Amino acid sequence: MSSSLAALNDWVADVARLTQPESIHWCDGSDEEYQALVRRMLDNGDLIELNQETHPGCYLHRSDPGDVARVEHLTFVCTPERDDAGPNNHWMAPADAHAKMDELFEGCMRGRTMYVIPYCMGPIDSPISRCGVEISDSPYVAANMRIMTRMGKPAQARIEREGRFVKGLHSVGELDPKRRFIMHFPEELTIKSFGSGYGGNALLGKKCHALRIASHQARSEGWLAEHMLIVGIENPAGETHYVAAAFPSACGKTNLAMLIPPEGYRRDGWKVWTVGDDISWMTPGEDGRLWAINPEAGYFGVAPGTSESTNPNALKMLNRDAIFTNVGVTADNQPWWEGLPGQPAKDWQGRDYDPANGPAAHPNSRFTVSAKQCPSYSDKAEAAQGVPISAIVFGGRRASLVPLVSEARDWTHGVLMGAAMGSETTAAATGAVGVLRRDSMAMKPFCGYNFADYFSHWLDFDRPGAKLPRIYKVNWFRKGDDGKFLWPGFGDNLRVLEWMLKRVTGQVDARETPVGNLPRAEDLNTADLEIDPAALDALLSVDEAGWRSELSSIGEYLEDFGPRMPGKLREEQRRIADALKA
């Protein structure tokens, strides 16, 4: 037996002694195993069979009403020094966290099966990929991890070869919110999650491993683990450029990942290829460029708002072999959520639908589906070396001030763009509308270490020989005086991406401003687009007084991270502020 296999076996034995399961099942990732998991959950009521004529291989899971979302206030990063976790994370000393969790885990799997789930984040043969093993007492977790990761024997074989893996221990416990914690031990490459069955808290390969632990790994190993989609844009000449893009929630991230070109673009031969919708791991290649993989193999997407008008590609992949969580159902047992035609018969809790009880589908209801079912799926998602990134895009939801698109002057300016990004709250999210919440690189809930050190790590990529992507900031949500959006968004966002790629390839000039390089109106392709020239002017305008206030706010935000904040970023903020004053 290899030493790495012995280490894995020893850990599994230690967990079994602590949790005392009735049986242990090592997952092999086979179709037969998946079907057995489904049958088990159908028998015990964890899954409900949906209409197999309209949705073959599709099932519904209803979670506990008190367990429907990530619990950021119960999520901790456990480093020996508090400052290493940073003000962007909740912190607990590792010894205290282990003691608290082990007390919860003691005997928690009595009468249950313990699933040992070896998985690979990323293509199985990619040097950028990293492996993990999740131990869980949830068949729902085992089934979803098979869809979301490369799970089973090939992953276990790689773990045995490499001898290193992220250890994840999970139990649904009693689903008691008062006994619910998610602990991350970055320096130990360990995750412990107790008391939740919800995706982001229980599918430990996703946010816990692929972002919180991986961001720490990436910093020590010289790469980036980012909350970014990866999309390929193929022009009529057959050239494909890949773009990585970060957006906070409710900013159209999945729509951009699966974008459908406007009719005129399709006619001319433009194509869009989806590599990933949520997470990007990027590493410098021998050619100096950043090469990226999507570490996931599936989508764990938000169902409400996914419709024929907003994201037809996403809708097309959900008519077979998908697990739905907390959606409603129609009278003939098809999955239903707000945005779809027809009427629900039952809501997400299984009650007869009554609008007085709220929406039929929980606002955070989900679907889990293989990435390969997406009509715009790119086979480059399995490329071992990844794809070369031509541009990095940061976005947010801003009703005013922020232009439709701006290009960073250089890498340092681009890092500041990402650090400063944020969104204004909407009525749906909170009582206070228009409050700006900064969410640097869309990583605020997911960075596994101090944000100031994270910004330093980003800055470190600008070194001799590097051929870094251009960095852009976009805002699809600018509004006019009448409160209506100035830009149509959705597929028409390709017009903005086209301008970016023309900048990357040196085909078009830009207008230099203190806050970045902006398109000239005539350089944006507006063919077949009904847009008022005055609206376009507003989208590409720079309100210097407003930006002076914004730069001041950005400076205060950076100061919040204390003495570790890199001086280079503060200098960049001051440089732009001074340029605006001049």
Positions at the binding site for GTP:
250-255, 366, 397, 490-493
pLDDT surpasses 50 at 170: yes
What are the beta bridge partners of residue 232? 242, 273
Residue 172, phi then psi, degrees to nearest 5: -70, -15
CA–CA gap between residue 254 and residue 258 (Å, rounded): 6
Q: Give the burial class of 56: count Cβ atoms within 10 A of its Cβ; 0-12 exposed, 13-18 middle, 19 or more buried.
A: exposed
- Are residues 169 and 15 in contact, defined by beta-carbon separation less than 8 angstroms? yes
* The pLDDT of residue 358: 97
Is the pLDDT higher at 253 or at 429? 253
* The pLDDT of residue 430: 40
How many percent of the chain have pLDDT more than 70? 98
Instruction: Name the average pLDDT for the chain.
Output: 96
Average pLDDT rounded to a whole number, residues 341-357: 98
The answer for 225, left when phi > 0, alpha when psi is -120 to 50, beta otherwise, is beta
CA–CA gap between residue 217 and residue 222 (Å, rounded): 8
Q: Which domains, ranges and CATH numbers included, belong to the chain?
A: 3-47+72-222 (3.40.449.10), 226-297+380-581 (3.90.228.20), 299-373 (2.170.8.10)
- Are residues 126 and 293 in contact, defined by beta-carbon separation less than 8 angstroms? yes
pLDDT surpasses 80 at 347: yes
pLDDT surpasses 90 at 450: yes
Q: Which long-range contacts (CB under 8 A, 24 or more apart) does 424-427 make?
A: 424/397, 424/398, 424/399, 426/250, 426/397
**pLDDT tens digits along 141-162:** 999 999 999 999 999 999 999 9
Positions at the binding site:
70, 198-200, 207, 227, 249-255, 278, 364-366, 397, 490-493
pLDDT surpasses 60 at 428: no
**pLDDT tens digits along 376-425:** 999 999 999 999 999 999 999 999 999 999 999 999 999 999 999 999 97
Using pLDDT thresholds of 50, 70 and 90, give the confidence band for residue 426: low
pTM of the entire structure?
0.97
Positions at the binding site for Mn(2+):
207, 227, 278
CA–CA gap between residue 135 and residue 113 (Å, rounded): 10
Q: What is the CA radius of gyration of the chain?
A: 24
pLDDT surpasses 90 at 1: no
Using pLDDT thresholds of 50, 70 and 90, give the confidence band for residue 201: very high
* The pLDDT of residue 432: 67
Is the pLDDT higher at 582 or at 53? 53
Cα separations in angstroms, 174 against 24, 282, 349 = 20, 38, 18
* The pLDDT of residue 431: 52
* The pLDDT of residue 103: 98
- The tokens for 112 are 């249950």
- The tokens for 389 are 């990134």
Catalytic center residues = 251
